[in-house]
Amino acid sequence: MSKLLYLLLISLTFSNVYSQKDIKMVEVQAGTFTMGLKSKEFVDEKPAHEVKLNAFYISQYEILFDDYEAFCKTAGITHPNGTAGFPATNITWERAVMFCNWLSTRDGYQKAYEIDRNDEKAIFNVKCDFTSNGYRLPTEAEWEYAAKGGHRSKGYNFSGSNSPYNVAWFNENYKGVEHKPGELTPNELGIYDMSGNVAEWCWDYYAEDYYSKSEAENPTGSKAIFDRVYRGGSRRDKMVYIQNVRRSFKNQKEKDLYIGLRVVRTKTD
């Protein structure tokens, strides 16, 4: 079977995919899954624990530079260098939540974030309304559940396969070349590039021991006020760091050439 025919069949199979303007979203049904892992090798990812989530929508592809550039122009913000059709990167967590609010306004949804911002005093405080129908960053639990394939999960180590070469651009195969979203095989829900390519910001504050304290239903992260979680690994990372369960973190005011974002919306209908 040719790759073109395979991708066509995939697109027909995932009938829960819909498009709102330029952002294609996939419905992730409510469900319960095991978050983290039992391995003794990694500290941040244990203990494995059961999490129950409400339904939500998640973007099928990583956010493109095209959309982020449009936001920057509207907001009067200097945007990082980028190329049309490729993932937006070099974005701080703070700019990511601002982008989400702009995207909600553009597409006619409620804003998910209430932002208290003062650049001169380096103040940036955010409250999230998880009942809003607007765009927001995924919680860490939502991200992992979607990466694992949601209710269709087959238990893969990477998002869509046990072989990362099928689904991810990472250190061992990207060979110094940037890649557009969607060039490889999607996961069980029809979502692309949740392993590798560029890493993706999540809503949560980071804490190493958070899993031992996490809420059992719809967790929204640690009460710490330092770093924010990002997930998925990137094209610069080795195979071990792009597994579905792996966690990373960075200060919300810092940006990185290999960190971008993916958006979600709470299912309110």
Q: Write the CATH number for 174.
A: 3.90.1580.10
Residue 267 lies in a domain: no
Segment 7-63, tens digit of pLDDT: 444 443 444 444 345 699 999 999 999 999 877 778 889 999 999 999 999 999 999
Cis status, amide bond into 181, omega within 30 of 0: no
- Sign of the torsion angle spanned by Cα atoms 12, 54, 259, 46: negative
Residue 269 lies in a domain: no
Residue 24 lies in a domain: yes
- Please name which of 93, 119, 60, 123 lies closest in space to residue 204, comparing C-alpha atoms: 93
Residue 121 lies in a domain: yes
Q: What are phi and psi of 247, to 5 degrees?
A: -120, 145
Domain that holds residue 25: 3-255
pLDDT at 121: 87
Residue 265 lies in a domain: no
d(CA 151, CA 53): 11
pLDDT at 22: 66
d(CA 244, CA 157): 6
Segment 199-231, tens digit of pLDDT: 999 999 999 999 999 999 999 999 888 899 999
Residue 172: pLDDT above 60?
A: yes
Residue 130 lies in a domain: yes
- Please name which of 137, 190, 194 lies closest in space to residue 8, comparing C-alpha atoms: 190
Beta carbons within 10 angstroms of residue 227's beta carbon:
18
Residue 260 lies in a domain: no
- Please name which of 222, 96, 244 lies closest in space to residue 162, comparing C-alpha atoms: 244
Segment 235-250, tens digit of pLDDT: 999 999 999 999 999 9
Residue 268 lies in a domain: no
State how many domains the chain has.
1
Sheet containing strand 259-260, strands side by side: 247-251, 227-231, 199-205, 259-260
**Angle at 121 (CA atoms; ends 115, 122), nearest 5 degrees:** 60
Give this prediction's pTM: 0.92
